[in-house]
Structure 1
Amino acid sequence: MIRRLSLHARLILLAAATGIAILIFASIAISGVLERFVMVGVDQTLDTQIGVLERALEPDGSVAQDRILSLSNFDQRGSGWGWLVRGERRQWSSGSGLQAFRTRREMRHSDTAIAGGRGRTDDGRAVHLRARKVATAGGPVTIIAFAPRELIDRPLDAARGTLLVSLALIALALVAGTLAQLRYGLQPLRRLGSAVARIRSGEADTLPADQPRELLPLVDEVNGLIDQNRTSLEQARRHVANLAHGLKTPLATLSLRLARENASTEALKLVEELDQRIAHHLKRARIGAHAASGRARTEIAGVIDDMLGTLQQIHRASGITFQRAGGLAGAPGYAVAVEQRDFEELLGNVIDNAGRHARSEVRVAVEQAGPRIVIAVEDDGPGMADADIARVVEAGVRLDESLPGFGFGLAITTELVQLYGGALEITRSVDLGGACVTITLPRTR
């Protein structure tokens, strides 16, 4: 699927298309003006020669030889200069011979205006010409004066070269100005995006009101949505707390009554499991409310080391070593977008689970992958079969029934990670041979 163009790209394309069109139109228009400007001097000379020849015409259309005058250059053959008087039965010429010519418009018998055109001399040289048709008693007579085309083309080409260089410099200036304008004009949108990111990471509560007038309606709507979402989350948290209180009390009463009445172990275990399930779903609802607020932040520096030290004491009797394998765990300033209590719980579940299945070693490694933090917990235990990996993250499922618990540890961890926009993956450890639980969480500043 082709990605839609950004505002920056759209504006650049629009400005480029408009600029190219304007420059093309300007080059054509200016070239036409330059051509007419260069042709003025040549046309004046040719028109003067036509006027001299017209005064030499007799009433019957013939040319009085004693009144024929040629300006300088018009008598030199091969120079490209010359004139031609063409009657119905005879023609007179001087200078270079004209082989063919074409005027820009058709000249009529009654038309006395001078028309411009082009032609070629006998030796194939291109010429610029001026022509007038004169009515006489002996019929119409056409008077033509012409000059080498190169007198116009040579200065015009030089002027066009300078013009193209100037237009190219103007185009570069327009491109630079457009880029600077877009960078300055779109800067408020970039600041607005950064402000939204700060809200998501918990560094700010609302969007700043110091915005351009065009963005103020959007900022007001987003801030109103944030306030409404915050109110809804507070209500959800209160409902979760009330629900927890409402369910815990009857369950505690039921558990005490069963204990007083010497109920069976199976009944007590069923009540305890029911209590665990209710606690699991209430915790999920609470976590969902925290995660949706987008204001969670926990520095990982020290948390992992403290947890490894605590679990080392708990599993001291088993002789298992808990260690950190380098990475960023001890580097200050790195944080994940997770509530600290939830981060400690999800990480504690995974490391404790690895300790209960390990033979002698549990290793924790932390790395940064772009905008995310990756935590890998490995052990040297028996690992898991591929068929068991999908089942182990389901609530209430335990692969080893000999170990205590109700099977909610990894299920809670998986839901915690997903609710905070992360991912959990279970594979086999390459180095230790046991299980490798990889947790990916969004990084925050």
Structure 2
Amino acid sequence: MMRVLPKSLSGRLLVTAAVTIVVALVLASLAIGHILERFVMNGLDERLDAQITLVSRAIGPDGTLDASRAIDIPPFDRPGSGWSWEVIGPASRLRSASLEGADLAPPRGRAGPLFGRGDDDHPHTRERPRPLDGFDAQGRATHYRMATLPTLRGDAIVLAAGPRAIVERPLRAAMVPLLLSVFLLGGFLAVALVVQLRIGLRPLSVLRQRVADVRAGRVRHIHVEEPTELLPLVGELNALIDANEKALVRARGHVANLAHGLKTPLAIMKLDLAQKTGDTNDQLHSQLERMEGQIRHHLGRARASEAGGMTARLLLAPRVRDLSDALARIYGDRLIRPIIDIDPTLEVQCDSQDLDEMLGNLFDNAWQHAETTVRVGAQAVDRTIEITIDDDGAGMSPDRITDLNTPQRLDVGAGGNGLGIAIARELAELHGGSLVLWQSDLGGLSVSLGLPGGAP
């Protein structure tokens, strides 16, 4: 398929503006030509109507024609001039001297629109003359004006004719400078258009240079003050720069956490190998599992950080019930009673695996420390879904809750529920959410997980 518009923005603007200018100039030329034709034609009609007024005085009320009252004004008195008139009465005719006794050739063209009735310019005139177009006896294009005057013996018809060349000659003479003026105007508009495009698109070149400066590290953000139409785009670019910086900080944090998390197991393995005690294999196996967990966790965070993670709209209630049923079977010997109060229509915007990991870690902690009851609820607050998990276990001290509410390395407090909560918090923050702990009214720990709800 042929491309109509070029790929470049300047090319598209140039093509569309050029087409618009050409169409506008053509329409303007046609309109001006029509106005000039009407103006010249009105002059011809007025001249013919004046002759009709003069010769209509020769028509008596009884339809008789008085030749002495029919006056020929130049050029109607010159034979071959193309100007002529004729009065056709009920009983006789009068002709202009230019006809030299011959009848006026009747119009053979299509009649123009009739004029409405107007004021009486002559006592016998009942309607204004109407235009007709045709050809004279020599085949020359001729413009006619015809008036009908009622008499006692019937209507009398007055015809006046003039050459259309009197209209066409000045039109041709006027159209040459007109078309030249239109051509010059089009050239001027074309030059103005090119200049306008260069000036108008210059801010895009400046913006490109600012982005190049950010990429090269010379500046941190893009700073432009005009034009105002580009300011929203600049704001989005700066937001993207900030988001990329945060992603880079998180990536560096993942590397640091991974290195720090592997440091201790490696040191222990080194000591165990040096000592070669009897339980070395069991200890090595434990440390290897710990290292494998650290690697698996940080690889998962790296996947979630790519391009903001793969998110979807997920119904919350079915996943909560599936996890609750699974943990009820795992901890079947403890007879934990789950209480779930979640609207079945609530949705969260989150990666499916990350949601299962967050809920799985938090539910597992609740089931481990609960005495008899785990309560799970959720509600929509603005565009956030707040998921609350409470247990009736022994709970935690306020200092410990404060420590867990403070961001820290994932290997800190790796035992117990510290690592699971830290992983859940990091996943929630990657999705634009949050995680907060406090004392539950059931006596144990209350965890509030906030995730985006609905469409992003």
TM-score, normalized by length of structure 1? 0.54
Deviations 1:121-179 (A, max 9, x none): 01111112222221211222221211111111011111012111111211222222222
The 2-side partners of 1:197 and 1:107 are apart by 73
The 1-side partners of 2:7 and 2:63 are apart by 73
The 2-side partners of 1:32 and 1:62 are apart by 42
The 2-side partners of 1:108 and 1:62 are apart by 27
Match of 2:112 in 1: 104
Shift of 1:235: 2.7
Contact 1:121 1:127 (C-alpha < 8 Å) held by counterparts: yes
Contact 1:98 1:119 (C-alpha < 8 Å) held by counterparts: no
Q: Which residue among 83, 87, 95 is the counterpart of 1:85? A: 87
Cα gap change, 1:18 to 1:49, in 2 (>3 Å): same
Cα gap change, 1:201 to 1:86, in 2 (>3 Å): farther
Cα gap change, 1:22 to 1:88, in 2 (>3 Å): farther
Q: Which residue among 232, 235, 260 is the counterpart of 2:247? A: 232
Q: Which residue among 15, 22, 27 is the counterpart of 2:29? A: 27
The 2-side partners of 1:71 and 1:189 are apart by 72
Q: Which residue among 152, 159, 182 is the counterpart of 1:144? A: 159
The 2-side partners of 1:141 and 1:59 are apart by 10
Contact 2:132 2:144 (C-alpha < 8 Å) held by counterparts: yes
Cα gap change, 1:125 to 1:219, in 2 (>3 Å): same
Q: Which residue among 222, 228, 248 is the counterpart of 2:237? A: 222
Match of 2:262 in 1: 247
Match of 2:74 in 1: 72
Contact 1:131 1:143 (C-alpha < 8 Å) held by counterparts: yes
Contact 2:106 2:136 (C-alpha < 8 Å) held by counterparts: yes
The 2-side partners of 1:108 and 1:158 are apart by 33
The 2-side partners of 1:171 and 1:93 are apart by 52
Deviations 1:276-334 (A, max 9, x none): xx99x999x99xx9xx9xxxxxxxxxxxxxxxxxxxxxxxxxxxxxxxxxxxxxxxxxx
AA in 1 matched with 2:54: V
Cα gap change, 1:87 to 1:107, in 2 (>3 Å): farther
The 2-side partners of 1:27 and 1:61 are apart by 49
Does 1:43 find its partner at 2:51?
no
Cα gap change, 1:220 to 1:106, in 2 (>3 Å): closer
The runs of 5 or more residues in structure 1 that have no matched partner are 293-445
Does 1:160 find its partner at 2:180?
no
Shift of 1:111: 4.4
Deviations 1:103-123 (A, max 9, x none): 422368984212233221011
Shift of 1:252: 4.8
AA in 2 matched with 1:215: L
Match of 2:212 in 1: 197
Match of 1:396 in 2: none
What SS class does the counterpart of residue 186 from structure 1 fall into? helix
The 2-side partners of 1:240 and 1:79 are apart by 105
Match of 1:389 in 2: none
Shift of 1:207: 0.5
Match of 2:383 in 1: none
Contact 2:41 2:167 (C-alpha < 8 Å) held by counterparts: yes
TM-score, normalized by length of structure 2? 0.53
The 2-side partners of 1:4 and 1:220 are apart by 29
AA in 1 matched with 2:107: A
The 1-side partners of 2:116 and 2:264 are apart by 114
Stretch deviating more after TM superposition (161-170 or 65-74): 65-74
How do residues 168-207 of structure 1 correspond to structure 2 at under 5 angstroms?
Answer: 168-207=183-222
How do residues 231-380 of structure 1 correspond to structure 2 at under 5 angstroms?
Answer: 231-255=246-270, 257-258=272-273, 261=276
The 2-side partners of 1:100 and 1:196 are apart by 76
Q: Which residue among 118, 128, 134 is the counterpart of 1:113? A: 128
AA in 2 matched with 1:62: T
The 1-side partners of 2:64 and 2:7 are apart by 75
AA in 2 matched with 1:115: R
The runs of 5 or more residues in structure 2 that have no matched partner are 118-124, 279-283, 309-456
Match of 2:423 in 1: none
Q: Which has the larger radius of gyration?
A: 2
Shift of 1:230: 0.9
AA in 2 matched with 1:106: L
The 1-side partners of 2:72 and 2:275 are apart by 140
Contact 2:87 2:159 (C-alpha < 8 Å) held by counterparts: yes
Contact 2:116 2:128 (C-alpha < 8 Å) held by counterparts: no
The 2-side partners of 1:69 and 1:39 are apart by 23
Stretch deviating more after TM superposition (118-127 or 82-91): 82-91
Cα gap change, 1:83 to 1:244, in 2 (>3 Å): same
What SS class does the counterpart of residue 211 from structure 1 fall into? coil
Contact 1:108 1:133 (C-alpha < 8 Å) held by counterparts: no
Shift of 1:260: 5.5
Cα gap change, 1:107 to 1:228, in 2 (>3 Å): closer
The 1-side partners of 2:259 and 2:90 are apart by 118
What SS class does the counterpart of residue 174 from structure 1 fall into? helix
Match of 2:345 in 1: none
Contact 1:82 1:147 (C-alpha < 8 Å) held by counterparts: yes
Contact 2:141 2:164 (C-alpha < 8 Å) held by counterparts: yes
- Aligned-residue RMSD, C-alpha: 4.2
Does 1:213 find its partner at 2:228?
yes
The 2-side partners of 1:108 and 1:226 are apart by 75
Does 1:128 find its partner at 2:143?
yes
Shift of 1:231: 2.4
What SS class does the counterpart of residue 107 from structure 2 fall into? strand
Shift of 1:55: 1.0
